[in-house]
Amino acid sequence: MTILGIETSCDETAAAVLDGEGHVLANVISSQHTVHERFGGVVPELASRAHIQNVDHVTRRALDAAGLTWQDLGAIAVTQGPGLAGALLVGISYAKSLAYALGIPLVGVSHLEGHIASAWIDRPSFPRTCVVLIASGGHTHLFHADESGGLRLMGRTIDDAAGEAFDKGAQMLGLGYPGGPLIDQAARKGNPVTVRFPRSRVRTGQLDFSFSGLKTALLYHLQRMDQQAITRQQADLAAGYQEAIVDVLIRQTFAAVRQAGVSALAVVGGVSANSRLRARLTERAGEEGIELGLPALSYCTDNAAMIAAAGQRALEQGRLASFECEAMPNCAL
């Protein structure tokens, strides 16, 4: 059935429509970057206010772009969490009223379930049994996914998420916010071996990640330089820092693939938009004969197509739609 997805967990107000076969008919994202950039990060109160201003108009744009009317919708999926409580409540309240007024089912999904579902958008035949790396602003998690959609946690970050490492690094390098795309861009003009940063290993969990040491290494490195030198070497520093993050992601992810004994790997979440990571993953997966599921760029960072896709799968698997759906700011998978 045709499904509308709504996503308001952080700083993007997004709405998307998928048809009954899972094809994306519309995917509209209204970014709040200009609202938050002068604060160097997302301000929860401002995020909620911006969602209130945008959610109806973004949803109507998605419906228009899909060439549909309200009556064509068969169900609504909305992000329940994890995310900012006030921001989630905006999307959930809006989705509830809409589902109630239209008399159609409402299904709440986890934001992480959404990121995972993005691997199958436009690629329905990608194997369900695979390793999934979610690398975003709040998560760096490795899962072993099975045929029925079950997930077994294989490893996770013990401190910062990969996206957080990008964002904090960019701030230290004077590149601004959001950091990931800015480091990605700056690094293209730099040499990744001019400055070598540490690649942390975690003693306790073989497949866990740690990025806080890398962040501290950058801080100490910059403290030994004057501002002019930092500006002059910004591209090399960005490239070296990015390479350290990418190396760790590749090392742990392919170790997980070996350990799980699977032949397919999905890499999702905002950091999967990183051009260097995409190139390195493609190369390595090719060498090892692993089928790689990388979402198109518009489905890597937060979007509602992935929420609609997760909602569709949840309904297919028999999850009951319910108006009891509440915000779950700290929910895990």
Judged by the rule CB under 6 A, the positions of this chain that interact with ligand KG4 are 10, 136-138, 163, 166-167, 178-181, 184, 269-271, 273-274, 301-302
Q: State the Cα torsion 215-217-219-220 to the nearest 10°.
A: 160
Of residues 31 and 200, the one with the C-beta less far from ligand KG4: 31
Peptide bond into 124 cis (omega under 30): no
Least distance from Zn ion to the Cβ atom of residue 163, Å: 9
Cα–Cα distance list, 118 to 94, 304, 319 (Å): 23, 10, 19
Backbone angles phi, psi at 279, to 5 degrees: -65, -45
Give the separation between CA 301 and CA 297, rounded to whole angstroms: 7
Query: Which residues 251-310 are close enough to bind Zn ion by CB under 5 A?
Result: 302
Q: Choose which of 110, 136, 272, 274 interacts with Zn ion (CB under 5 A).
A: 136
Give the separation between CA 278 and CA 295, rounded to whole angstroms: 10
Q: Is residue 167 annotated as involved in ligand binding?
A: yes
Candidate segments 79-87, 130-138, 220-228, 231-239, binder of Zn ion by CB under 5 A: 130-138
CB atoms inside a 10 Å sphere around CB 112 = 26
Of residues 164 and 302, the one with the C-beta less far from Zn ion: 302
Size of the site for Zn ion (CB under 5 A): 2
- Tokens standing for residue 110: 């986890």
Regarding beta strands 3-7 and 106-110, do their DSSP bridges make them parallel or antiparallel, or are they unpaired? unpaired
Of residues 31 and 129, the one with the C-beta less far from Zn ion: 31
Non-local (6+) Cβ contacts of 115 within 8 A are 134, 136, 139, 268, 269, 306
Of residues 140 and 234, the one with the C-beta less far from Zn ion: 140
Q: Is residue 103 annotated as involved in ligand binding?
A: no
Q: Is residue 266 annotated as involved in ligand binding?
A: no
- Tokens standing for residue 102: 């239209």
Non-local (6+) Cβ contacts of 66 within 8 A are 17, 25, 26
Which among Zn ion, ligand KG4, none contacts residue 121 (Cβ within 5 to 8 A by kind)? none
Q: Is residue 135 annotated as involved in ligand binding?
A: yes
Of residues 168 and 233, the one with the C-beta less far from Zn ion: 168
Give the separation between CA 259 and CA 131, rounded to whole angstroms: 10
Least distance from ligand KG4 to the Cβ atom of residue 108, Å: 17
Least distance from ligand KG4 to the Cβ atom of residue 99, Å: 24
Binding-site residue positions for substrate: 134-138, 167, 180, 184, 274
Binding-site residue positions: 111, 115, 134-138, 167, 180, 184, 274, 302
Residues interacting with Zn ion, by CB under 5 A? 136, 302
